[in-house]
């Protein structure tokens, strides 16, 4: 399996030209059910914090993801969104801010411009496309970007929709073993393949996994304890692996391997229903993928294909029909209907 982040970048370049003129519909207001707590402010324990990156190219996906989170939540007014944008593109941040406020007038959110220079020097310079998507690496910096009183977040990619209450995912137990991170693990995936032979043949490097049973996990859906992250300075630990990668190639390109190096085998389990991933399809031939067996709480179009692009091209995969109801894009044909 190829690192998904690589394809994120390729897609980003391919789609940039067509996205400048998108208009979005307004989402309805969503109300708390009677038994919900009433958080008083951002720092309240009853708030559910969701962190995502926000980019013009992926905006249509993000809008659908936000709508899906609100629609399936029993306490939607308790959800606070934290959006990270690229600081180098101040005008897009203004546009994104505006678009969000228009489509979700009742949304509680905050935008954090992320200094892309933080990572541009850390991304391996050998493959140019990586330089175009430093936001891919923003998930390493959530603990620094968000206010210190935000203790736990659910991090979500933009190419997914939830069909279940995010509060259940956010409540994943982390305390028993002082876990920093929770995500669904896939122990049948070939873990060796994420790192190069020079990594595995160098004991001082591969010993990092000694005493752990490392399994692949997808960094597109994670519950993160920001307090423990800050205390353990995991941002620096991830950066150190990225610095090493610049000097010697220890993994294939992407933001995933440093997360695996630091956390694999040391994360709290999450049921697979919370990341039915790979729906973007086969990376090489664009084949459609089916759901994994079992229940579904979150559908994730990781991989090369995106449902909105396939729907626009009139070549959707069967499961893209499950994404379409969350699409807020205003179509030019709306008035004719
Ligand atoms: C987004 O817009 C709001 C209100 O219009 C403003 O207060 C806030 O500073 C803006 N955020 C950014 C990052 O531009
Ligand atoms: C796992 O991947 C490694 C490296 O790509 C390969 O050498 C090995 O044969 C694979 N193992 C299995 C069981 O497929």
State residue 11's pLDDT score.
43
Q: Which residue has the tokens 């992320």?
A: 114
Residue 246 pLDDT level (bands cut at 50, 70, 90): confident
Statement: residue 207 has pLDDT above 90: yes
CB neighbour class for 73 (10 Å; exposed up to 12, middle 13-18, buried from 19) = buried
- Of all protein residues, the one whose alpha carbon is nearest to atom 14 of ligand 2 is 190
What confidence tens digit (pLDDT) does each residue in 59-96 have? 999 999 999 999 999 999 999 999 999 998 888 999 99
Report the distance separating Cα 122 and Cα 137, nearest Å: 10
Binding-site residues, ligand 2, Cβ < 6 A? 190, 192-193
Domains assigned to the chain: 43-329 (3.90.550.10)
Token pair belonging to 77: 């007014």
Q: Is 93 in the pocket of ligand 1 (CB under 6 A)?
A: yes
Residue whose CA is at the smallest distance from ligand 1 atom 12: 111
β-pair partners for 303: 281
Instruction: Tell me the pLDDT tens digit for each residue of 130-188.
Output: 435 788 899 999 999 999 999 999 999 999 999 999 999 999 999 888 999 999 999 99
C-alpha distances out from residue 53 to 58, 81, 236, 237, 325, Å: 9, 10, 20, 21, 22
Q: Which ligand is nearest the CA of 114, by number? A: 1
Neighbours of 164 (CB within 10 A): 17
**Of residues 173 and 1, more confidently modeled:** 173
Residue pair 163/227 in contact by the 8 Å Cβ criterion: no
């Amino acid at each position: 399996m190829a690192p998904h982040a690589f394809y994120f970048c390729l897609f980003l370049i391919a789609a940039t030209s067509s996205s400048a003129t998108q208009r979005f519909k307004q989402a309805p207001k969503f109300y708390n059910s009677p038994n919900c707590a009433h958080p008083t402010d951002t720092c309240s324990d009853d708030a559910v914090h969701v962190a995502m990156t926000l980019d013009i190219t992926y905006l249509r996906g993000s809008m659908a993801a936000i709508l899906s989170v609100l629609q399936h939540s029993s306490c939607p007014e308790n959800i606070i969104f934290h959006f990270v944008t690229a600081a180098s593109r101040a005008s897009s941040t203004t546009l994104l801010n505006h678009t969000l406020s228009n489509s979700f007038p009742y949304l509680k959110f905050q935008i954090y411009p992320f200094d892309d220079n933080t990572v541009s020097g850390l991304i391996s310079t050998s493959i140019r496309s990586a330089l175009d998507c430093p936001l891919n690496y923003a998930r390493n910096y959530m603990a620094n970007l968000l206010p210190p009183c935000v203790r736990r977040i659910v991090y979500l990619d933009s190419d997914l929709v939830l069909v279940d209450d995010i509060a259940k995912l956010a409540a994943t137990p982390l305390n028993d073993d002082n876990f920093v991170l929770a995500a669904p693990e896939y122990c049948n995936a070939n873990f060796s393949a994420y790192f190069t032979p020079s990594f595995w043949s160098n004991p001082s490097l591969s010993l990092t996994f000694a005493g752990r049973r490392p399994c692949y996990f997808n960094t597109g859906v994670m519950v993160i304890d920001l307090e423990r992250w800050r205390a353990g300075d995991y941002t620096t630990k991830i950066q150190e692996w990225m610095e090493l990668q610049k000097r010697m190639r220890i993994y294939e390109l992407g933001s995933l391997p440093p997360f695996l190096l630091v956390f694999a085998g040391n994360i709290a389990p999450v049921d697979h229903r919370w990341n039915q991933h790979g729906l973007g399809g086969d990376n090489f031939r664009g084949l459609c993928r089916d759901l994994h067996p079992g229940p579904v709480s979150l559908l994730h179009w990781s991989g090369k294909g995106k449902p909105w692009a396939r729907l626009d091209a009139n070549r959707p995969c069967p499961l893209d029909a499950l994404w379409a109801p969350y699409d807020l894009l205003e179509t030019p044909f709306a008035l004719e209907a």
